[in-house]
Chain A
Amino acid sequence: GAGVSQSPSNKVTEKGKDVELRCDPISGHTALYWYRQSLGQGLEFLIYFQGNSAPDKSGLPSDRFSAERTGGSVSTLTIQRTQQEDSAVYLCASSFRRSETQYFGPGTRLLVL
């Protein structure tokens, strides 16, 4: 079956612009996660959605970052007023339930000039 998909695969933007990154999880997966991977760094947890519960936003680095998940499926990560330090690969993962194996998408590589 289809895996986790993310779009766009690459995004180049100018400092100060807003960007939206999209994640399509595996059908039937109730849990969805966003991570950020900076060059040479591990994965930094950003936000977690579980079903219709309030998301765990504890990893969002600033109020410029937000995410939503519509209809318990597709998720959008929005970065407002992008900064150069936001340049990274943004990874989305989904799992059937919380605590179970996460399946990762290919990521969106964001470059802020």
Chain B
Amino acid sequence: AQSVTQPDIHITVSEGASLELRCNYSYGATPYLFWYVQSPGQGLQLLLKYFSGDTLVQGIKGFEAEFKRSQSSFNLRKPSVHWSDAAEYFCAVGNNDMRFGAGTRLTVKP
């Protein structure tokens, strides 16, 4: 059965520091992979997605993610975090039967 694991429930980073949010998945084939962000009181917004091709994908707001088939991972990265990046981040995998991870809450220290 397909599943998504986000090992970190809560991460705190200082503004300007780099960020990496982890996502591991279990899926029968190469899945479609997504990262969404949910800011307080807001709906979910797509940051980036991977369907095929180049395994390093660029998204909005300076985020990127790398698909590593051998590790079944799709980690989200940003070189320099801004205070406005504080939010809940969800990794999702699948096809029509999408599965979301439990989310990672990002706190940004001034």
Indicate whether A113 reaches chain B with its CB closer than 8 angstroms. no
The contact size tier of chain B is 20 to 34
Q: By DSSP majority rule, is chain A's interface helix, strand, loop, or mixed? A: strand
Indicate whether B99 reaches chain A with its CB closer than 8 angstroms. yes
**A11 vs B36: C-alpha distance when bound (angstroms):** 25
Query: Which residue of the partner chain B has the closest CB to A41?
Result: B102
| Binding stretch for chain B, among A16-24, A68-76, A80-88, A97-105 | A97-105
Given A42-B90, A91-B44, A107-B43, A98-B96 contact (CB < 8 Å): yes
Indicate whether A56 reaches chain B with its CB closer than 8 angstroms. yes
| Selected contact of A42 from candidates B51, B95, B103, CB within 8 Å | B103
Query: Which residue of the partner chain A has the closest CB to B46?
Result: A101
Determine whether the beta carbon of B96 is less than 8 Å from that of A45.
no
| Selected contact of A45 from candidates B43, B44, B97, CB within 8 Å | B97
Can you list 15 A-B contacts (CB < 8 A)? A41-B103, A42-B101, A42-B102, A43-B90, A43-B92, A45-B97, A45-B99, A45-B100, A58-B97, A91-B43, A99-B96, A101-B34, A101-B49, A104-B36, A106-B43
Interface positions of B (Cβ within 8 A of A) = 6, 32, 34, 36, 42-46, 49, 51, 90, 92, 95-103
